[in-house]
Amino acid sequence: MFGVRFAKFDPGRYVFKYKKGRVKSEGEGISFYYYSPTTSLVAVPTVSSDAPFIFFETTSDFQEISVQGKITYRIANPQQTAKLLNYTLDNNTLMYVSDDPDKLPERIINSVQVITQNEVQNYTLRESLRASEILVEKISQGLVNDKMIQALGLEILGVSILAIKPNPETAKALEAETREEILRESDNAIFNRRNSAVEQERIIKENELNTEIAIENKNREIREKQLESEKVVKEKQREILESEMKFNIEQEGRRRELIDIKTENERKNSDAKGYSISTIMKAYEGVNPEILHSLVSTGMDPEKIIAMAFQGIAGRAEKIGQLNVTPDLLQDLMKKNGKNNR
């Protein structure tokens, strides 16, 4: 009544109570009574706010792109902000009397656009489409160093780039080019895969040939070793044969010497016998044959004497007219002859 009112503010709004141009009280989420005709109220929001944006920029190769994102910020220094922007409230409705609170996001977005424009101009279309992380870093750093942001007492909580897109015609061209590139890469992949398969097959063939060559070399080495072994064996056999031949030759020489010695001995024996017989024959030269015959028959068996008698009779058969031999004599000769045969 009579202009006295009560005001209560939520946390997240920093309130200044001015009277006669001076701050009588201030704070966040406070409540108080005030006299409306002489009091001015200023409420600065300190909660975080989002400022979405979308820009249409031109790249270094003169292609248009759209950059869509969002800035998250809060008023960290309400006193400083309240000096630069009008956050005065109507005493009756407690609504802002000016549109300065709505201009704050626009000022932030304008700063973001300047930074984005300067950065995008350094990239081609393809580079800018992949530069979202770089833009986030550049915008964050640029806002922190921006003098207007510092003067307004703002704190940048986050920068997000949601999308970077070319215009529809360029997008279709890029899609077609990318599609052709993908198809070309697919063809190259198929070619490389086939080429790899051929290469692997060639490597396998080379390995097989190398294995066969190694086996042949090993077989050749084995054969050479076998031939060397056979050569050594034959050399040993030859040495053995030569030793045997040498031994046989020596034996034959000794046999020949032995035969020569035997022959010489036999010859000497024969000469001795011949000499003995010759001496005996010389001794019997001029002796009557009948005497010699009698000497030979001395001590001879009766049968042999009878045989010699018959031999003498046979030698003079032409002078004998008739010879009578008794059966008893023949029988005795036959019996003795049979015993001798036994």
Domain ranges within the chain, ordered by starting residue: 4-166, 289-315
Contact 74, 157 (CB under 8 A): yes
Local confidence band at 277 (pLDDT 50, 70, 90 cut-offs):
confident
Our CA dihedral for 173, 177, 183, 187, rounded to 10 degrees, sits at 160
Structure tokens that stand for 189 in this block:
């992949």
Q: What is the pTM of this model?
A: 0.53
SS3 235: helix
Length of the chain: 342
Whether 298 has a pLDDT exceeding 70, the answer reads no
Give the pLDDT score at 59.
92
User: What is the average per-residue pLDDT within 201-219?
Assistant: 91
Question: Is-contact 87 44, C-beta < 8 A?
Answer: yes
- Beta partners for residue 158, in sequence order: 72
- Mean residue pLDDT of the chain comes to 84
- Residue 66: name the closest of 160, 142, 161 by CA: 161
Short-list 165, 158, 154, CA closest to 50: 158
Please tell me the predicted confidence (pLDDT) of residue 111: 94
Amino acid at 159: V
Q: Which of 147-151, 273-277, 294-298 has the lowest mean pLDDT?
A: 294-298
- Please report which confidence band the pLDDT of residue 321 belongs to, taking 50, 70 and 90 as the band edges: low
Res. 98 pLDDT band, cuts 50 70 90: very high
Supply the CATH classification number for the domain 4-166: 3.30.479.30
Task: Render the burial of 92-130: b for 16+ CB within 10 Å, e for the rest.
Answer: eeeebeeeeeeebbebbbebbbebbeebbeebebeebbe
Give Cα separations from 245 to 1, 225, 240, 264, 337 (angstroms).
158, 29, 8, 27, 58
What residues have CB less than 8 Å from 183, skipping those under 6 apart? none
Instruction: Work out the burial of residue 43: count CB atoms within 10 Å of its CB; fewer than 13 is exposed, 13-18 middle, 19 or more buried.
Output: buried
